[in-house]
Amino acid sequence: MKTKERVDFDVAVVGGGPAGMMAALQASENGLKVVLIEKNPNLGQKLLITGGGRCNLTQNELDNKKLALKLGKNGQFLLSALSRFGVKETKEFFEKQGLKIKVERGGRVFPVSDKSIDVLNLLQNFLKKNKVEVLTNREVIGFQVKNKLIEKVLLKSKEKEISARHFIISTGGLSYPQTGSTGSGYKFARNMGHKVVELKPSLVSLKVKEDWPKALKGLTLKNVEVSLWQNKKKKLTRFGEMLFTHFGVSGPIILDLSKEAVQLKEKGKLILKIDLKPSLDLLTLDKRLQRDFKSKKHFKNYLPELLPQKLGNLLVRVIEINPNKIVNTISKEERKKIINFLKNLTITITGSTGFEHALITSGGVCLKEIDSKTMCSKIIPNLSFAGEILDLDGPTGGYNLQVCWTTGFTAGCGQFT
């Protein structure tokens, strides 16, 4: 019988995404023997598609408290790690390795080249320079644990036995599973006694009940205010840009409220209201319409002044107004209906497009069981976690990759005794 090759390392990192690469790099900076195990043929498949292929690698927020606040109630957990490796250090790290970076609208940081491959190549070159052993095409199926300590990584291929003194799990979440993030790390964590906070798709498009939004597919609305309503109570408001799609609504502000939308939907009926004219209150809007309706234009010829064409057509249908009507004959009642359309365009949310299309997973390995200074498990002393697998997630804008750099760096800095 063929005996298995046995390889001993100081640190074994499972999952070659941004968090795993950063963890392996940092561990190897201290001269340790490090292995990075990835089931795909290549590292960083998801990193390549970030920021539409441009990689919004961080958010230009140098105040750690403000950055942590953006991550919601769990953001506090990251403060200690951010103080060691925050946005400033992340930018310095990439610039020191020769990546030119730029800051765009909303503090979004990108490589000047607009190419995520440049970020990936930089990380891979660094791994090579630090002699990290990268094993691709190797799927980890579990860990051998004895007396609350991990001894070995179990590979599906069974060709090797990989033992190490310390292990880091950075297998990502459940979103975009085609990139390799299929959630296996959650199973490993549970098997070793960790609690996993309920997993939900986040930064995800929303599906709607009505057919009319689908007919508007491709239409982008800028400077609108959308709010989520449940049981006649306003739960959340966002201002900015949204988009109609073939299944419902998407775009920056929809993604940013999607986490709450997914949670609220589980509790009952959920309504999304769009204010198409948020800068005008009801009275001012009414005055403007009264002024505009003094002319002798046909309503259909006036509409482009008010709305994009597709929405104008919808308005005519919804309020059942004759488009050939001369505007100075529009009644008070009709004007009220127009105002209601403009200020309260209402859509029923039926759910999200799910993990398949979500940018991030909310929920994950429970932070109460993780030491925030080291990312080390409080249950298995020679195990740490990094990246999306943790119960940490933020809005769009580079926050989620920053979580990876910060937790990856911190996990890679461990004492590994």
Ligand X SMILES: Cc1cc2nc3c(=O)[nH]c(=O)nc-3n(C[C@H](O)[C@H](O)[C@H](O)COP(=O)(O)OP(=O)(O)OC[C@H]3O[C@@H](n4cnc5c(N)ncnc54)[C@H](O)[C@@H]3O)c2cc1C
Which letter, b or e, does each residue of 9-23 get, where b requires 16 or more Cβ atoms within 10 Å of its Cβ? bbbbbbbbbbbbbbb
Taking the complex as a whole, how short is the minimal distance between the CB of residue 407 and ligand X, in angstroms?
8
Taking the complex as a whole, how short is the minimal distance between the CB of residue 73 and ligand X, in angstroms?
19
52, two tokens:
């539409």
Q: Are 192 and 381 in contact (CB under 8 A)?
A: no
Cα–Cα distance for residue pair 356/6, rounded to 1 Å: 37
CA 32 from centroid of its chain's CA atoms: 32
With residues binned 3-state (H G I as helix, E B as strand, rest as coil), the percentages for the chain, rounded to 5, are 40, 30, 35
Cα–Cα distance for residue pair 142/133, rounded to 1 Å: 20
Residues touching ligand X, count (CB under 6 A): 38
x/- binding map, residues 76-95, to ligand X, per CB under 6 A? Answer: --------------------
Cα–Cα distance for residue pair 140/33, rounded to 1 Å: 19
CB nearer to ligand X: give 362 or 382: 362
Near ligand X in 164-203, by CB under 6 A: 170-172, 175-176, 180-181, 184
x/- binding map, residues 16-35, to ligand X, per CB under 6 A? Answer: xxxxx---------------
395 binds ligand X (CB under 6 A): no
**One residue of 9, 11, 12, 45 binding ligand X per CB under 6 A:** 45
User: Which helix (H) or strand (E) is 161 found in, with range?
Assistant: strand 160-169
**One residue of 46, 152, 200, 207 binding ligand X per CB under 6 A:** 46
259 binds ligand X (CB under 6 A): no
153 binds ligand X (CB under 6 A): no
Taking the complex as a whole, how short is the minimal distance between the CB of residue 293 and ligand X, in angstroms?
45
Residue closest to 274 by CA, chosen among 351, 221, 313: 221
What's the one-letter identity of residue 248? G
CB nearer to ligand X: give 170 or 362: 170
Taking the complex as a whole, how short is the minimal distance between the CB of residue 12 and ligand X, in angstroms?
11
135, two tokens:
């094993």
Chain contacts with ligand X (rule: CB under 6 A): 14-20, 37-40, 45-47, 49-51, 55-56, 139-140, 170-172, 175-176, 180-181, 184, 359-360, 387-388, 398-401, 404
